[in-house]
Each structure stands twice: as C-alpha cells, then as structure tokens.
C-alpha cells in the first residue's frame, strides 16, 4: 500500500518568510510524528499527534513552529518567520495505535536563504 | 533523561565480513529499541525492534540485534556484509513510561567495500 508522503520534497525560502510542510500518513494510522534532521544535530522530535488527543508539542524549538492535523489524517507543519538555522530535512512518520514501528516519509528539504 | 549513543561515526567493512554497528542507551525505565536505515536521499526505513522477550531480534535484510540489559546496549549485526548495505544507520529508543516519541542516536555511516 501507499506509504507516508510529504510535500514539497524541496523548499527554498527567504529568511523571514513563512512555510508550510505537508504530511499524508499511511491510511489507518492514528499516530503522526514530525522530526527534524539537520547536520550535526541528528534527528530531533518535534511534535506528536495521537487520534483526537491533545498533541505532544514538547519538541518544538520555538513558538515560530506549529502544527495541526485535520480530520485525524493530513498534517501541516508551519514555520513562521523562517531563520537560516531552520534549514533541515523535516521528516514525518506515522504508526498504528498499539504498534511501535514508525513509518517515515521521504522528507521535505527546507533551505532558508 | 533518555539518550542514545552511537559511538562510531563510520564503520568500514569488507564485503562478506561480519559487521557490527554499536548502540548504547539510557532510559529511566524499560526501553523499546529500534534500528532504522537511511539510504541517500531517502527516508528512514524500519529494520528491527526490541519490545520484550528474546534478547536476539531478527529483522529485515538479514540484520539482527541483541538487547543486553546489563550493558544497556543494542548492537546491530549482520553475519556477512553486502555492498548494498552501505547506508546511514540510526539506533532509537523509547521509554515505555515517557511517551511515544523516538530518541535517535546521531547515526553511523556503514561503508562496505567490494
């Protein structure tokens, strides 16, 4: 079946602009995660959604970052007033409730100039 | 605090030789442990997991890992390396009591030469 998809695959933006990154999880997966992969920092957890519960936002690095998940499926990660240090690959993952493997999308490479 | 250490940035092995990629972890409770592989310009692919039970876990592509509670380690192994195994490998841990986000190591680049 279809895996996790993310769009766009690449995004170049100017410092100070807002960006939106999209994630389509695997159908039927109730849990959705966002991670950031940057050089020298490895993979960092950003935010986690599980069903209709309040999201775990403990990994968001600043209030410029936010995410929502509509209808328990598609999620959008928004970065406001982008900074150069936001340049990274943003990865989305989903998992079935009660299952432990997270399935990752191909990522969105964000470059802030 | 939870953490994962992959002490080697790079591991080099010759094709046909056994390989080991090391991982140690620190969690307050009992861990769930995972290995993922990332090929160039691709997302992470799940290899294997330890949840409970047998300490030796077998996964995809002939890989296996052994959970060692006393040494807090979860090293990835393969008896005979292939050139196609060359990739970036991540170990990850999740504390059973501390939520569901994975904490990843920094990654180890495996290079298998022919």
Strand partners, B88: B38, B109
Are the Cβ atoms of A107 and B43 closer than 8 angstroms? Answer: yes
3-state helix, strand, coil in chain B (%, to 5): 5, 55, 40
The mean per-residue pLDDT over the stretch B33-51 comes to: 91
pLDDT at A88 over 80: yes
pLDDT digits over A71-85, tens only? 879 999 999 999 999
Identify the pLDDT of residue B97: 63
What gap in Å lies between CA B59 and CA B5, rounded to an integer?
21
More confident residue, B100 or B91: B91
Identify the pLDDT of residue B101: 82
Identify the pLDDT of residue A98: 64
Asked if residue B37 lies in contact with residue B88, where contact means CB atoms within 8 angstroms, the answer is yes
Are the Cβ atoms of A100 and B45 closer than 8 angstroms? Answer: no
Q: CB neighbours (10 Å) of residue A17?
A: 12
Identify the pLDDT of residue B68: 94
What gap in Å lies between CA B24 and CA A32, rounded to an integer?
26
Q: Which residues of B fall within a CB distance of 8 Å from A106?
A: 41-43
Residue B13 contacts A, CB cutoff 8 Å = no
Map residue B84 onto helix, strand or coil. helix
pLDDT grade for A99, boundaries at 50, 70 and 90:
low
What gap in Å lies between CA B69 and CA A43, rounded to an integer?
24
* Strand arrangement, sheet containing A19-24: A5-7, A19-24, A75-79, A65-69
């Amino acid at each position: 079946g279809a895996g996790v998809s993310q769009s766009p695959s690449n995004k170049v933006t100017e410092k100070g602009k807002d960006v939106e990154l999209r994630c389509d999880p695997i159908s039927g997966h109730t849990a959705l995660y966002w991670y950031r992969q940057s050089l020298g920092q490895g993979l960092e957890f950003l935010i986690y959604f599980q069903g209709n519960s309040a999201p775990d936002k403990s990994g968001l690095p600043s209030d410029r970052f936010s995410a929502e998940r509509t209808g328990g499926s598609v999620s959008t990660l928004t970065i406001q007033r982008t900074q150069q240090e936001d340049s990274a690959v943003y990865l989305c993952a989903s998992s079935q409730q009660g299952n432990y493997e997270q399935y990752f999308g191909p990522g969105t490479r964000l470059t802030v100039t | 605090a939870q953490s994962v250490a992959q002490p080697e940035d790079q591991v080099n092995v010759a094709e046909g030789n056994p390989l080991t990629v090391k991982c140690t972890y620190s969690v307050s409770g009992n861990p769930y442990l995972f290995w993922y592989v990332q090929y160039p310009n691709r997302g992470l692919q799940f290899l294997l997991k330890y949840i409970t039970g047998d300490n030796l876990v077998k996964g995809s592509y002939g890989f296996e890992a052994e959970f060692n509670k006393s040494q807090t380690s979860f090293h990835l192994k393969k008896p005979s390396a292939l050139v196609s195994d060359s990739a970036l490998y991540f170990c990850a841990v999740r504390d059973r009591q501390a939520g569901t986000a994975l904490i990843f190591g920094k990654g180890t680049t495996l290079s298998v030469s022919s």
